[in-house]
Amino acid sequence: MDLSFSEKDFMFREEVREFIRTEYPGDLRRKMKQGKEFAKEDFLCWQRVLYNKGWAAPSWPVEYGGTGWSATQRYIFQEELGQAATLNILPFGLKMLAPVLMAYGSDYQKGYFLPRILTGQDWWCQGYSEPGAGSDLASLRTSAVKDGDEYVVNGSKTWTSFAQWADWIFCLVRTNSMVKKQAGISFLLIDMKTPGITVRPIITIDGMHEVNEVFFDNVRVPIKNRVGEENMGWTYAKTLLSHERTGTAEVPRSKYGITSLKKNARKHISNGKSLLEDEYLSNKLAQLEIDLLALEYSDLRVLSDDFLGKKGTGAEPSILKIKGSEIQQRVTELALEITGYAGFSSLGGPLPMESNAYPTGPGFGFGAGSEYFNMRKSTIYGGSNEIQRNIIAKTVLGL
């Protein structure tokens, strides 16, 4: 057992640091500092910078434009991005759809879509969940009926993140309702500009617009936009779910979060003392950091196939997701505790923040409440933590 990095790894780390220092857009850095909302163009801008460097898709095979990095290098890269608090490129195209296309897509689909995903030319969103099909995703009802060389799609998707910005949506749809529910699902790529698609915003409890309902009313989709075979969509989607084995833990982001918490606690003087000297608070911070250390080394063990007795059951991401999401929530919870009253001013609330509506207190509290509310999502989406526990109980423990 030796966890030290090689000389090569150290040099790689330096290279990544240097790249972020010189190339990460100053605009985005400022926005993050000021707690401003990011626009679509911000994500695209950062992705273009990464693309130009050849680093937009570290986990892709080299033939498609990946980096050919070792697992350790990928880890270092993620860690450096986290430490620098760069904008998180959204996973829908690069991490969720692309692996499915690579594995099951037609030559046309690979040739046309993958390059556009890499450059950010197409913004993808994920159309899985439906009002009646959340945890029980396989019970989805949005239907696709063949008509000539097209499918006619009817139904609705919900909780679709950033559908308001999307050029395309990848959807699970029902193509056969006579068989076992998992066996009648197909995987379709749908152009958001197709007539019959309506997007309705859902405002979340933090006052933000991130998720949407997407309605399909006789939407015509060419059959060539079906991925793989008809009725095989469930299998494809499941492969996708276990594809990203690490990264679900969000360790680097939480590390950065804890560093900022300490910085803010140190700045916050109460009763003439820094809050970091408050025994309760510093204990809670320490406990959080200890839990994160355990998670980090679990993450590394998964990376090295040394988890769950090397059984490789496919449940590793579930474990990382449970602990990772809980830690992310605790970071925001502590942020709110540290800011106290200053976290009360609402950000992106129902009222426009007029010029005289400004954050209170020592400044950093701006948005702490909103962040805390927003992060409640992390134990719900991507398969709720209850569902992840069910998966582990079944696949690892055989219960």
Partner 1 sequence: MDFSFSEEQELYRATVSRFIQNQYGLEARQKIVNSDLGMSRENWQQFADLGLLAIPFAEEYGGLEGSAVDTMVVMEEFGRGLVIEPYFETVIFSGGILSIGGSNEQKQQYIPRIISGECIFATAFAESQSRYNLADIKTTAKVRNGGFILNGKKSVVWAGPWADYLIVTARTSGSQFDEKGVSLFLVDKNSEGISLKNYPTIDGGRASEISFENVELSDESLLGHIDDGFDLLEAAVDRARAAICAEAVGAMKALHETTLDYVKLREQFGVPIGNFQVIQHRMVDMLIAYEEAVSITYMATLHLDHPVEERQKSVSAAKAKIGQSARYIGQEAVQIHGGMGMTDELNVGHYFKRLTMIDVSLGNQDYHVRRFADLTQ
Ligand X SMILES: Cc1cc2nc3c(=O)[nH]c(=O)nc-3n(C[C@H](O)[C@H](O)[C@H](O)COP(=O)(O)OP(=O)(O)OC[C@H]3O[C@@H](n4cnc5c(N)ncnc54)[C@H](O)[C@@H]3O)c2cc1C
Residue closest to ligand X (Cβ): 134
Phi-psi domain of 192 (left: phi exceeds 0; alpha: psi -120 through 50; beta: other): alpha
Measured between alpha carbons, how far is 4 from 373 in angstroms, rounded to an integer? 38
**Which range binds partner 1 by CB under 8 A, 18-26, 70-78, 312-320, 364-372?**
364-372
Measured between alpha carbons, how far is 127 from 159 in angstroms, rounded to an integer? 8
Establish if 207 lies at the interface with partner 1 (CB under 8 A).
yes
**Which range binds ligand X by CB under 6 A, 14-22, 124-132, 239-247, 315-323?**
124-132
- Tell me which of partner 1, ligand X, none is bound by residue 205, counting a contact when its beta carbon lies within the kind-specific cut-off of 5 to 8 angstroms: partner 1
Three-state DSSP class for residue 351: coil
Going by C-beta distance under 8 Å and a sequence separation of 6 or more, which residues neighbour residue 186?
Answer: 144, 172, 173, 174, 175, 226, 230, 231, 232, 233
Three-state DSSP class for residue 151: strand
Cβ–Cβ < 8 Å for 194, 168: no
Among 60, 128, 256, 372, binds ligand X (CB under 6 A): 128
**Which range binds partner 1 by CB under 8 A, 67-75, 196-204, 221-229, 244-252?**
196-204
> Taking each helix axis from N to C terminus, what angle separates 316-339 and 385-395, rounded to the nearest 10 degrees?
150
Among 373, 387, 395, 396, binds ligand X (CB under 6 A): 387
- How far apart, in Å, are the Cα atoms of 152 and each of 112, 143, 216, 309? 23, 8, 9, 47
Active site residue 289: no
Among 70, 88, 135, 242, binds ligand X (CB under 6 A): 135
Establish if 37 lies at the interface with partner 1 (CB under 8 A).
no
Q: How far is the CB of 248 from partner 1 (least distance, A)?
A: 18
Three-state DSSP class for residue 118: helix
Establish if 395 lies at the interface with partner 1 (CB under 8 A).
no
Establish if 369 lies at the interface with partner 1 (CB under 8 A).
yes
Among 182, 274, 390, 395, binds ligand X (CB under 6 A): 390
Among 67, 160, 225, 313, binds ligand X (CB under 6 A): 160
Q: 191 phi and psi, to 5 degrees?
A: -70, 125
Cβ–Cβ < 8 Å for 225, 186: no
Residue with tokens 């066996």: 183
Residue with tokens 């152009």: 191
Establish if 384 lies at the interface with partner 1 (CB under 8 A).
yes
Q: Decide whether 10 or 381 has the Cβ nearer to ligand X.
A: 381
Among 78, 109, 345, 388, binds partner 1 (CB under 8 A): 345
Establish if 381 lies at the interface with partner 1 (CB under 8 A).
yes
- Choice among 15, 213, 244, 289 that is catalytic: 244
Interface pattern 279-298 for partner 1 (x via CB under 8 A):
-xx-----------------
> Per residue, what are the HEC states of 266-335?
HHCEECCEEHHHCHHHHHHHHHHHHHHHHHHHHHHHHHCCCCHHHCCCCCHHHHHHHHHHHHHHHHHHHH
**Which range binds ligand X by CB under 6 A, 66-74, 153-161, 309-317, 318-326?**
153-161
CA angle 1, 80, 263 (to 5 degrees): 105
**Which DSSP symbol is given to 193?**
T
CA angle 72, 15, 80 (to 5 degrees): 55
Establish if 199 lies at the interface with ligand X (CB under 6 A).
no
- Tell me which of ligand X, partner 1, none is bound by residue 343, counting a contact when its beta carbon lies within the kind-specific cut-off of 5 to 8 angstroms: partner 1
Establish if 343 lies at the interface with partner 1 (CB under 8 A).
yes
- The catalytic residues are 244
Contact footprint for partner 1 (CB under 8 A):
129, 132, 134-136, 139, 158-159, 202-205, 207, 211, 268-272, 278, 280-281, 336-337, 340-346, 349-351, 353, 356-358, 360-362, 369-370, 372-373, 376-377, 379-381, 384-386, 389
Contact footprint for ligand X (CB under 6 A):
125-129, 134-135, 159-161, 210-211, 377, 380-381, 383-384, 386-387, 390
